[in-house]
Structure 1
Amino acid sequence: MKVNKFISHSKTALQLAVKQGWFPGARYTNLRDIREFEGDKLFIDIDWKNYDLQKHLDAVAEKVPFLTIARDIERISELDSILKEAEMLRKYSDYVAVVPKDLGLTDNIDKYIPKHFVLAYSVPTKYGGTNIPLKSFSRPVHLLGGRPDEQRKLAQKMNVFSFDCNRFTYDARFGDYFDGETFRPHPKGGYENCLLDSILQINSLWDGYRFDCSYLINNCGGYNVRTN
């Protein structure tokens, strides 16, 4: 199956990306960003610095997304409570991605995290990321953030079924775009030109890529294709 591409940013970026086959997303604190995309395949992200479970539950109950993210498991001592939260979220979302980060979960993900959850991998940046080795991620993975070229490289080693990518929207504000390999000044300039050409180049990176959906079919109640 084709990878699911999500963007969570401004109205302009969302509109441009959706026209090119992407799907809209938003943090549960910014649902106004996806108001005009009712009925689409939606992604609900979290405010990980100031997480509020009730606001998250209210958001997924209202929007019934394709995918939402549970809290990061940064300490294995929080595993049980986070999994309980993920079960509550699962009532309203097709898929819930659990984010293992504690190194104690290395080689133990399948033992401790129920099979009906997919995984999320926080692409390493200067702000942080997942340090658990890639080989531990044996089920479908959602890539959280990072550079588009790094995301594509990870798909050579992981079964990536979706990703969210907003990095290029920040570069666009300074007249830069992603050219398929790196970020550079756009030859014509302009915020929307930078956005659109970045989106097209990212699409090209993923042309021909297909993820294996058998895990979703066998463990997550099937694969809900849901299209715009």
Structure 2
Amino acid sequence: MVHKFVSHGKKVLSISEKHGWLPGVKYTNLRNIKGVDFEKKGFLDIDWKNYSFERHLSAVIEKKPFLTIARDVEDIYQLDSILKQAEVLKKHCEHVAIVPKDIRMNGNITSLIPKEYILAYSVPTRYGGTQVSLNSFDRKVHLLGGRPDIQRALGDKLDVFSIDGNRFTLDASFGYYFDGIRFVKNKINSYDYCLEESIRNIFLIWKGYNSDFNTRSNFIYEGAI
């Protein structure tokens, strides 16, 4: 089972919940999940460009998420301090994911990051990404953001535990929805329809996903990885 998270407002969270998605939020936007059943099932994301461990820890203690992300490892020499922070975070949530971004971690993740942590792969977009090689990711992985077709293609190269994303909400505002392969125009230009179709189709492309590299079908998207 791949856990699917979306971080957005009440309307998106409500629609996604009907299709088996779980709530997500950044520690900077906790107001978005007021009244939402979040404890032990939600995803707590971070503000990686302006990271504050104090604010992050306070939110984790308050919301007790299923999964949270530790500060991105952009410099390998920060890893020890990040792992110490992750150890503290893990006292208040089920899973903590470490985000390797320094290319000096290529081929070294097994020895550098304790197995108690899952990994997070920053799916390349214009806002970020990682150049750490895919074959360095030696365990279960959370996919951070990116297009749903690219995420699903990565599922054939990584042992995907969970995904998050809200790219489809932006497309919906322009009348586009994800049809299971690509984003297409909705003729009646309905925001709600586009949201529902994207959420439903993203759920369906992961249905039956088997993370065993030896038994998975080769699922490849046109124009994807």
TM-score (norm 1): 0.90
Residues 121, 144 of structure 1: 8 Å contact kept? yes
Deviation at 1:103, TM superposition (A): 0.6
How far apart, CA to CA, are the structure 2 residues paired with 1:35 and 1:25?
12
Describe how 1:46-195 pairs up with structure 2 within 5 A: 46-195=46-195
Give the % identical residues. 56
Aligned residues: 211
In structure 1, what residue type is equivalent to 2:32?
Answer: D
Matched residue type, 1:27 = K
Q: CA deviation at 1:164?
A: 0.1
Structure 2: segments with no counterpart, 5+ residues: 213-225
Whether the aligned pair in 1 keeps the contact of 2:40 and 2:94 (CA below 8 Å) is no
* Counterpart mapping for 1:22-37 below 5 A: 22-37=21-36
Which whole-Å CA distance do the structure 1 matches of 2:179 and 2:126 have between them?
Answer: 22
Distance 1:6 1:151 in 2: 13
C-alpha distance in 2, partners of 1:60/1:181?
A: 35
* Runs ≥4 residues deviating over 3 A: none
- On the 8 A contact 2:118/2:139 being kept in 1, the answer is yes
Q: Is the 8 A contact 1:44 1:67 kept in 2?
A: yes
- Whether the 8 Å contact between 1:67 and 1:95 is mirrored in structure 2 is yes
Moved more, 151-160 or 177-186: 177-186
2: CA distance, partners of 1:181 / 1:126: 21
- Aligned-pair CA distance for 1:40: 6.0
**Displacement, 1:128?**
2.4
Please list every run of 5 or more consecutive structure 1 residues that lacks an aligned counterpart in the other structure: 213-228
- RMSD between superposed Cα atoms in Å: 1.1
SS at match of 2:4: strand
Q: Structure 1 residues 199-208 or 31-40, which shifts more?
A: 31-40
Counterparts of 1:200 and 1:20 in 2: how far apart (Å)? Answer: 6
Q: Which residue is equivalent to 2:9?
A: 10
Contact 1:23–1:40 (CA under 8 A) maintained in structure 2: no
Structure 2 length normalisation: TM-score? 0.91
Residue 210 (structure 1) aligns with: 210
CA distance in 2, matches of 1:196, 1:173: 12
**How far off its partner does 1:126 sit?**
2.1
Letter in 2 for 1:210: N
- For structure 1, which segment, 55-64 or 202-211, has the greater mean C-alpha deviation from structure 2 after superposition? 202-211
